[in-house]
Structures are given as C-alpha cells and as structure tokens.
Amino acid sequence: MNTTFYKLFAIEYKRFARNPISILGFIVVFTIGVYAIFHGKNTIAHQEETIDTIADIQEQELAKNKQFFSDDLSHFTYYQFYYTQNEPSEWAAFSIGQRDINNYSLKVRILAVEGQLYDTELANPMTLLSGNLDLSFLFVVLIPLLIIS
C-alpha cells in the first residue's frame, strides 16, 4: 500500500537490530511489561474478591446488631458499621496507581464519617517509595527511554 512507510520501517528496523543493547533493552522492557500486566491483574483480582465478600459481611453485622439492639434503635444506628467500596474499573489492571495505598473498602460508622474516610493502614515507607511497576509507568517512563536510546 504505502511503500514509503514500509521502506522507512525497514530502515529503522535494521538500525534498531544492529545494536545489541537496543535489542536487550527491548527484551527487558517487554519482560517488565508482561510482569506489569500480570501484577496488575493479580492485585485487582484480589481487590475484587475482597469487595465481593463485603455484602455478606454487611448482612452478618446487620443481623448481629439487630439481635443485640432490638429494643433501642438509637444504639443500633450508633453501633452499626457500614461498609463502603471503591470498585476498580476495567482498565485498573493496567494502572494500579495508588489503589494499593488508598483503601478500596472502608468500615465506617455514621458518627464522624469525614475523619474515617481518609484513614489508611500503616505501610512500609521504603516499599511506598519504590512504588508500583504498572503498565502506565512502562508507557510513560521506560518506553520513551528505549526510544531515545
């Protein structure tokens, strides 16, 4: 069809294939990409599994509190915990972002909801410093470095 494009592609491919460092860089970036997709899918699958169990836990808590506080509704509403959830999108496996740091499920009470929304679990700061190796990092940082080299 477009012979100019094919000629240009063939010239650039020959130039790329001549340098063994470029080939090694491509293999490394490809391997990191496969790992990033695998890690993203596993992380999101674990989060979806946890979110799926939230409805059952909510029903059990509700039934338990109905038994304990059946005579006084004010105690029931005060002690009842409600579970929130932030379901991942279909594209979340490609870019985890801060889904591993920020909560995707919270157990909150009606009292002081605003303060409970931003509570996070303690995490290792050195692990947080390194961040996630997701596909968006690969596209934004590593592939441009490979193109430049």
pLDDT tens by residue, 1-12: 578 999 999 998
Q: Give pLDDT, residue 130.
A: 67
Considering only residues 118 and 88, tell me which one the structure prediction assigns the higher pLDDT: 88
Q: Which residues form the domain of 84?
A: 3-148
- Are 117 and 82 contacting, i.e. CB atoms less than 8 angstroms apart? no
Q: How many folded domains does the chain comprise?
A: 1
Q: How far apart are CA 140 and CA 142, in angstroms?
A: 6
Q: What average pLDDT does this structure show over 116-137?
A: 71
Q: Say which DSSP state 84 is in.
A: E
Cα–Cα distance, 39 to 95 (Å, whole number)? 10
135 alpha-carbon distance from chain centroid: 11
pLDDT in tens, 48-104: 999 999 989 989 988 888 888 777 777 777 778 888 888 888 888 888 877 777 778
* C-alpha to C-alpha distance for 92 and 26, rounded to whole angstroms: 25
Q: Look at residue 31 in the predicted model and tell me its pLDDT.
A: 93
